[in-house]
Structure 1
Amino acid sequence: MYKVFINDKPIIITTSEKKELNYPSEFYNSVVIDEIIHKLQNDVLNGINLISNNLEKDWKSFLTNFDVLQAAGGLVINPQNEVLFIYRNGKWDLPKGHVEKKESIENAAVREVEEECGIQKLSIIEKLTVTYHIYFLNGIKLKETHWFLMNTNDSKNPKPQLEEGITDVGFKNKNEINELLNNTYSNIKMVFDCYQKTL
């Protein structure tokens, strides 16, 4: 199954005919992707299930509709098992950014966390998941973000990268996380769910 978000509304491409969250279901081969995107963008739909007979083939077909950009980020824990969050554009988020030319996804993830949060001494523990979302900037883009679980024992206080629009950054404990997950993106909730499964 693949989930792609537009403004937190999912396109779910799946081989299962079981409906997810009561979204309408259509067969992948019977829809026009541009029309689906238009309906999600304009609140005609809150989400849709696209039923596939050949998931990998249809996923490749789906990707041809977009300029696909690679990004990488991290869910970072400290020795107290607190999680590093950033605050940007009125939402809590995890640090991430674009993968540069000839840069590995792992190196990009570490670099972005360092730049956006002002911390060092990062180690990748494992890959958590990949998330997808569509946005509109000089055309229609699909961002594929690779997420890594990391740890750090950097004792310095994190500092937000203000020029990237980040106004707050900090390690959050379990109670704080439960609160801030009410004001984050669906993709970030998915990443956090993957982290919870590692515990």
Structure 2
Amino acid sequence: MYQVFVNDKPIILTTKVEEENGFKNYLLSKVNIGKVIKELNSTSLKEVRLIGDIESKLLKKFLKLLPNVIAGGGKVYNESGHILFIYRNDKWDLPKGKTEGKETIETTAIREVKEETGVTGLKITKPLPTTYHIFKRNGKHKIKITYWFEMKTSFNGKLYPQEKEGITKVNWLSQDESIEALKNSYANIKLLL
């Protein structure tokens, strides 16, 4: 099963058909994705389930429905065990961004964290789950595929929010502060924490 978010409502990719209760089922092979996005954005529907035949092919089929944007990001810990958060569009988020040229996804993730926060000395410790969300740019819907990595750093310098990217704050948050920040964050970020 995969979850692709439209704002904070999930499109669930699954092979199981269940009776509709607060959600709608559609066949993945016949779905009008524009209609599904509009429905999630304009109704009280909590989720949509796209039903496919073969579990291993669900994501591949779904990703063909819209253009893909590849991004990398980091859940960064400092030596105190605090997590690096950015504040953008009135929500707490983790630093991430699109790949450039032929760079590896790991290079993208480290570069984006550094650019958006000013933090250096980043070391990837392990990969985290990949997240998927649909966004609209220039009137067209796209799927952002974000490859996440847990990172560590001993950086203790000044944090610099990348204002040209709309970031207004960068903070190291403790476990309790992180839980509080998640109340004003995105569903896919909650999956990582």
The 3-state SS of whatever aligns with 2:155 is coil
Cα distance 1:19–1:118, how it changes in 2: closer, same or farther (>3 A)?
farther
Contact 2:77–2:83 (8 Å) recurs in 1: yes
CA distance in structure 1 between the aligned counterparts of 2:29 and 2:113, rounded to whole angstroms: 39
Report deviation, 1:22: 4.8
Please give the secondary structure, in 2, of the residue aligned with 1:167: strand
Q: Aligned partner of 2:61: which letter? A: S
Matches within 5 A, 1:162-173: 162-173=163-174
Task: Name the counterpart of 1:71.
Answer: 71
Cα deviation, residue 23, structure 1: 2.7
Matches within 5 A, 1:23-38: 23-29=23-29, 31-38=31-38
CA RMSD in angstroms comes to 1.9
Shift in Å at residue 63 of structure 1?
1.5
Secondary structure (helix, strand or coil) at the match of 2:16 reads: coil
In structure 1, runs of 5+ residues without a counterpart are 193-199
**Which residue of the partner structure matches residue 102 of structure 1?**
102
What residue in structure 1 maps to residue 90 of structure 2?
A: 90
* TM-aligned CA deviation for residue 57 of structure 1: 2.8
Asked whether the equivalents of residues 22 and 45 of structure 2 are also in contact (C-alpha less than 8 Å), the reply is no
Q: TM-score, normalised by structure 1?
A: 0.89
- CA distance in 2 between partners of 1:61 and 1:85 (Å): 33
Report the CA distance between 1:65 and its aligned residue.
Answer: 1.6
Letter in 1 for 2:122: L
Q: 1:27 offset after TM fit, Å?
A: 3.7
Structure-2 residue corresponding to 1:161: 162
When normalised by structure 2's length, the TM-score is 0.92
Are 1:181 and 1:189, in contact at CA under 8 Å, matched by a contact in 2?
yes
Cα deviation, 1:88-128, whole Å, max 9, x if unaligned, reads: 11000000000011010000000000010001110000000
Cα separation, 2, equivalents of 1:40 and 1:63: 18
1:115 lines up with 2:135 in the alignment: no
* 2:80 paired residue number: 80
Query: Alpha-carbon deviations, 1:138-174, whole Å to 9, x = none?
Result: 3111100000000000121322111111111011001
The Cα of 1:8 is off from its aligned counterpart by 1.1
User: 1:117–1:161: 8 Å Cα contact kept in structure 2?
Assistant: yes
Tell me how far apart the structure 2 counterparts of residues 130 and 180 of structure 1 sit (CA, whole Å).
21
Shift of 1:43: 2.3
Specify the SS of the correspondent of 2:130: strand
Contact 1:20 1:49 in 2 (8 A): no
CA distance in 1, matches of 2:74, 2:123: 10
Matched, 1:145 2:146: yes
Which is further off, 108-117 or 152-161?
A: 152-161
Number of equivalent positions? 192
Which residue in the other structure is 1:196 paired with?
A: none
Q: CA deviation at 1:24?
A: 3.1
Q: Give the Cα–Cα distance (whole angstroms) in 1 for the partners of residues 175 and 19 of structure 2.
A: 32
Looking at structure 2, the residues matched to 101 and 19 of structure 1 have their Cα atoms a distance apart, in angstroms, of 45
The CA deviation at 1:188 is 0.4
